[in-house]
Amino acid sequence: MKYKTLGVIMHDTCNAECKICSLSCSPKSKNSLNISRLKDFIMSCKNTSIVQVSFTGGEPFLRYEELKELIRFTVSQGFYCNVVTNAFWAYDENQAANIISELKAIGLSSINFSIDNFHMEYINKQAVFNAIKACKVYDLPVVVAMCKLKNERLGNLIDELDADYPSLNILINSCLPAGRAKKTIEREHFVLSPLANNLKCPYEGIITIHPTGKIYPCCGHEVFTTCLEIGDYEHLLYPDAIKKIRNNCILYILRNYGLEPFVQWFPDIACKGKSEFVSPCEICSNLFENDFRFMIPKVKDFINEKFHNISLK
């Protein structure tokens, strides 16, 4: 297990209220992290495997001064720094250029823009185009992330971006059935695939602090509806969090064996009668959304069988 990135969801307030938002962010959401405590946590990641801190939301640019303070601090501690945004602030080319040049000057390493049919109900796509243009001028690496449902048409948008920026890094993700998306979108509209394709935990080396302060062992948005949190950033620093992850027998199985053992042991809880899923994380959220301590004896037996008396709590 090696974490490379600390993901920080600064707050869940957003100027948009996208139907596909897997965190249910909106202008009314008010959970947010304390900057001074966050700095302590970031500092505690020094001399560990963490190389990058990524700030996201909600919309992190709604608190631009705090965002800049965190970027400066993160960079001063020797980490790469990334921000994820819907680019609402880039409403004209000059404004986009001013902000990107400022962020580049204080050490931001890369930026991700979210744009798709759902974001465009709230954010003018020209803002994202302005922001990308500024990033090209100031040589700031960009990723554009799009979210899709089944039968979603993204071709025109991709063609438009491609025409201006042929080397642009565009990621297309399936919309996750979590948060507002789970409540507002009918299941048949998600991109589903058979259970057999969905049994590996894709934890992706990211440890995440949620706006409620809970620390989670991955960044899959379904995880935030589970009881898999490993503590609270008010009480834990990064090395403590890692110790708790290492000693957690459920996470040990998830990382090393994926979801397959759990699906075999507890098929009804894991699948809820379904045979197709958007992602492994959906099965994970079924399994761990409620108190799962009753699973621990089974898990320990499995580990003992494999490793003869390995000691995990």
In the complex, the smallest distance separating the C-beta of residue 185 from ligand SF4, rounded to whole angstroms, is 13
In the complex, the smallest distance separating the C-beta of residue 77 from ligand SF4, rounded to whole angstroms, is 26
Residue with tokens 């991700």: 112
The verdict on 83 binding ligand SF4 (CB under 6 A) reads no
Q: Please say which residue, 161 or 218, places its beta carbon nearer to ligand SF4.
A: 218
Binding ligand SF4 by CB under 6 A: which of 21, 99, 149, 230?
Answer: 21
Could you give the CA distance from residue 157 to residue 134 in angstroms, rounded to a whole number? 19
- Binding part of the chain for ligand SF4, among 35-43, 56-64, 137-145, 293-301 by CB under 6 A, reads 56-64
Could you give the CA distance from residue 219 to residue 208 in angstroms, rounded to a whole number? 6
Question: Residues with Cβ < 8 Å from 171, sequence gap 6 or more?
Answer: 143, 144, 145, 146
Question: Residues with Cβ < 8 Å from 36, sequence gap 6 or more?
Answer: none
The verdict on 236 binding ligand SF4 (CB under 6 A) reads no
In the complex, the smallest distance separating the C-beta of residue 222 from ligand SF4, rounded to whole angstroms, is 5
In the complex, the smallest distance separating the C-beta of residue 264 from ligand SF4, rounded to whole angstroms, is 16
Binding ligand SF4 by CB under 6 A: which of 7, 177, 213, 280?
Answer: 280
The verdict on 57 binding ligand SF4 (CB under 6 A) reads yes
Binding ligand SF4 by CB under 6 A: which of 127, 281, 295, 299?
Answer: 281
In the complex, the smallest distance separating the C-beta of residue 206 from ligand SF4, rounded to whole angstroms, is 9
- Binding part of the chain for ligand SF4, among 34-42, 53-61, 126-134, 155-163 by CB under 6 A, reads 53-61
In the complex, the smallest distance separating the C-beta of residue 263 from ligand SF4, rounded to whole angstroms, is 12
The verdict on 119 binding ligand SF4 (CB under 6 A) reads yes
Which residues in this chain contact ligand SF4 in the complex, by CB under 6 A?
A: 14, 16-18, 21, 23, 25, 57-59, 86, 114, 119, 201-203, 217-218, 220, 222-223, 254, 280-281, 284
